[in-house]
Structure 1
Amino acid sequence: MPESVSPLIGATVLAKLKTAKIDAAFSTALSSGRRDGTGGLSPRTVHHMR
C-alpha cells in the first residue's frame, strides 16, 4: 500500500501548493520515505503515490 504524501508536503494550503513542493516531496520519498527509516521507497511506490 502506498505511503501518504501529506506528511511530506506538510501544512501547505492546497491553493498555495506549488510544483516544486510536490517534486521535493516525491524526491524525499525516494531517498528516505520508509517508515522504519532504513531508506527510500521504490519508484513504483512513489508513482502510486502520485
Structure 2
Amino acid sequence: MGILLTILGIILLVAGVLGVLRGQLLWGIIAIVLGLILTPGYFFGL
C-alpha cells in the first residue's frame, strides 16, 4: 500500500509542477499539496 501511495504522490507532484509551469496555478498548487500529503514521509527523508 505504501508503494502505491508513493507512486500516486509522485504523479501528483509532477502533474502539479507541470500545471504551474503551464499557468494553471490553482490546479498545480492543489496537486502539489495532495502529492505531498499522499507521499509517505520516508520517501523524502522527513
What TM-score does the superposition give when structure 2 sets the normalisation length?
A: 0.39
Q: TM-score, normalised by structure 1?
A: 0.37
More helix by percentage: 2
Question: Taking CA–CA contacts closer than 8 Å with sequence separation of 6 or more, which of the two structures ends up with the larger relative contact order?
Answer: 2
